[in-house]
Structure 1
Amino acid sequence: MDIFIEYGYLGLFISAFLAATILPLSSELVLTALVLNGLPPLTLVLIATLGNVLGSLTNYGLGYWASKTVIQSWLRMSEYEFVRAEERFKKYGIIALLFAWVPIIGDPLTVMAGILRIRLLWFLLLVTTGKFLRYYILATLIIQ
């Protein structure tokens, strides 16, 4: 994590981008450290949101263009788990994308949105809203 913190804004962007993929990273720790180091919270929130949304957009693209077999292998999902994830997504609808920031479920949600060909505009609006609010609330709690 220290290397991301050392690179400031760029480190936050990279950590947020990678955290939105299946890599086990925490952009929240980087954001927290940078806020505590005195960098402007709103700027950090916007940079983290942009990086995280672009990472989720990468997942969406993989879901949209990759084969089901590749996706199941990448997410380490059995056929049964894959079908259940698809059913859950369909049950809750696109509003579930507001929770794309939640660990463990967020990455499969964004991949499934690509598989199901969710309209890109709705994907971006919902994912961006959820991710922005998460970072904004975190930054607000840190500066209080």
Structure 2
Amino acid sequence: MEAWLESLLTLLALPKFGLSTVFVVAFISATLLPLGSEPVVFGLVKLNPELFWPAVLVATAGNTLGGAVSWWMGYGAELAVERVRHKPVEHRVLGWLERFGPKACLMAWLPVVGDPLCAVAGWLKLPFWPCVGYMAIGKFARYLTMTAALLWAMPGQVQP
């Protein structure tokens, strides 16, 4: 088991397989699993500044696809527990999401609430492709802002 884990970590090591690592971590972090992908994007860009735009775009793609998986999970969950009664607070949140529709998925970039928001959008059967489009816009803005801000806050080249 340890040898398998070591070989997996070697395979995903930065920067040799950096963009694939960014994609996998961004994808997993967009599901309901608690994982942050920004440090991975920042680490790759810090080691390879020429990969700024590819890293931001790959992270956006992975995170958006993970959000789409969350949407489908929410859709399936809604079908499975359709008879569950909601509390008044849940009614307000669901009403807010129904009022804003797919545009609410712009908030998918938010920590803690963003990923469950994608699942709730699926639960409410909001239109899939518009939701994915708004997720992508929000997630792209997050990666662009976070990576640029971290590079600005921590200037300097990494010495090999």
**The TM-score by the shorter chain falls in which range?**
0.7 to 0.9
Q: Does 1:21 align with 2:46?
A: no
1 CA distance for matches of 2:76 and 2:32? 17
- Structure 2 residues without counterparts, runs of 5 or longer: 1-8, 153-160
- Structure 1 residues without counterparts, runs of 5 or longer: 73-77
Could you tell me how far 1:36 is from its partner in structure 2? 0.8
Assess if the C-alpha contact under 8 Å between 1:5 and 1:11 holds in 2.
yes
Q: TM-score, normalised by structure 2?
A: 0.74
Q: Which of 108, 114, 133 is residue 116 of structure 2 equivalent to?
A: 108
Partner AA of 1:43 in structure 2: P
Aligned pair count reads: 136
Assess if the C-alpha contact under 8 Å between 2:107 and 2:135 holds in 1.
yes
Q: Which of 57, 77, 91 is residue 46 of structure 1 equivalent to?
A: 57
Could you tell me how far 1:91 is from its partner in structure 2? 4.1
Partner AA of 1:126 in structure 2: Y
- Counterpart position of 2:81: 69
Q: TM-score, normalised by structure 1?
A: 0.81
Assess if the C-alpha contact under 8 Å between 1:36 and 1:142 holds in 2.
no
Q: Does 1:121 align with 2:129?
A: yes
Partner AA of 1:18 in structure 2: I
Could you tell me how far 1:38 is from its partner in structure 2? 1.4
3-state SS of paired residue (1:100): helix
- Amino-acid identity (%): 32
Q: Larger Rg: 1 or 2?
A: 2
In structure 2, relative to structure 1, the CA distance for the partners of 1:89 and 1:132 (3 Å cut) is: same
Assess if the C-alpha contact under 8 Å between 1:5 and 1:12 holds in 2.
no
1 CA distance for matches of 2:13 and 2:36? 12
Assess if the C-alpha contact under 8 Å between 1:5 and 1:33 holds in 2.
no
